Amino acid sequence: MTQRINAYLARALGRSRRSCDDLIACGRVTVAGRAALPNDRVDDSVVVLFDGKPLHAPAQNYVAFNKPAGYLTARRDERDKTVHELLPPRYKNLFPVGRLDKDTRGLLLFTNDGDWAQKLLHPSHEIVKRYRVELNRVPSLDMIRSRVQLHDGPSLFDSVEPVDIKDKHVVEVTLHEGRKRQIRRHMRELGYRILDLVRTEIGGILLGDLPEGSLRALSRDEIGSITRSDRRAGGKKDRGGSRKAKR
């Protein structure tokens, strides 16, 4: 099966598709003896060279990782520890799908499948993400559920629910956006301080009881759940034209 050249490069080099677009634009990639073009489609039978050396895209991998606090979602950093330092050698070529900030724990997905990652990341697909949020004081649920104006636009969670009637400091937040530090900024704007923030779900893929700092391969059903979510979103758009904003 063919795929776009930037997706093939992302899988072979373990980079983002955007950075692979830059490699193509710089003329560092050739396809079948000529300079690669952004719209080229290739498969494993086509000779692809990067800086004159042949590339062989590895098998596609999909991994769930329980990120500890204190690690940046990055390949390398001069000052801080990164999540890539925790990956086994066989998964070093994978890239994270989205990010968790340094102080946030929980579910982080890794893959070398650029198309699958795009379905997770693009806002139009509305993939739901779920978080467990521990606050410094008992919150007003109505207040947290309200729209909050941030510097980059309004913030409105899909849902906010208590987790345990015995621990009223903890709430479960779901949203489908994923703007930088959105939950932390939303809560801070309302006067709350977050003591602990854990992502527990992405599009039906659950963190479950995966130990902190550990990873597991995704099942076929979990991988397919993202595609199914994307199809459902697309179907809603087709029926209604443009989808109304969630309330």
Q: What is the pLDDT of residues 122-150, one digit of tens each?
A: 877 889 999 999 999 999 999 999 999 99
Q: Please, is 48 exposed, middle or buried when counting C-beta atoms within 10 Å of its C-beta (0-12, 13-18, 19+)?
A: buried
Please check whether residue 157 is in contact with residue 186, taking contact to mean a CB–CB distance below 8 angstroms.
yes
Q: What is the mean pLDDT of residues 45-70?
A: 92
The per-residue pLDDT for range 206-245, each reduced to its tens digit, is 999 999 999 999 999 999 887 665 544 444 444 333 333 3
- Residue 112's SS3 state is coil
- What local confidence, expressed as pLDDT, does residue 229 receive? 57
User: At a CB cut-off of 8 Å and minimum separation 6, what does 19 contact?
Assistant: none
pLDDT band at 197 (very low <50, low <70, confident <90, very high): very high
Residues with a known catalytic role: 101
d(Cα 232, Cα 190) in Å, to the nearest integer?
A: 34
The residues facing 164 across adjacent strands are: 167
Q: What is the mean pLDDT of residues 51-77?
A: 92
> ∠85-90-93 over CA atoms, to 5°?
70
Instruction: Mean pLDDT check: name the lowest of 20-24, 54-58, 98-102, 144-148.
Output: 54-58
Nearest CA-CA partner of 3 in 115, 107, 100: 115
Instruction: Mean pLDDT check: name the lowest of 30-39, 63-72, 78-87, 120-129.
Output: 120-129
- What local confidence, expressed as pLDDT, does residue 115 receive? 80
Neighbours of 47 (CB within 10 A): 11
Q: Please, is 118 exposed, middle or buried when counting C-beta atoms within 10 Å of its C-beta (0-12, 13-18, 19+)?
A: middle
For 100, which DSSP code? Answer: -
- What local confidence, expressed as pLDDT, does residue 227 receive? 65
d(Cα 26, Cα 12) in Å, to the nearest integer?
A: 18
d(Cα 103, Cα 125) in Å, to the nearest integer?
A: 27
- What local confidence, expressed as pLDDT, does residue 245 receive? 36
Q: What is the mean pLDDT of residues 109-117?
A: 87
Beta strands in 124-186, from DSSP E residues, in sequence order: 129-135, 148-150, 153-155, 159-164, 167-175
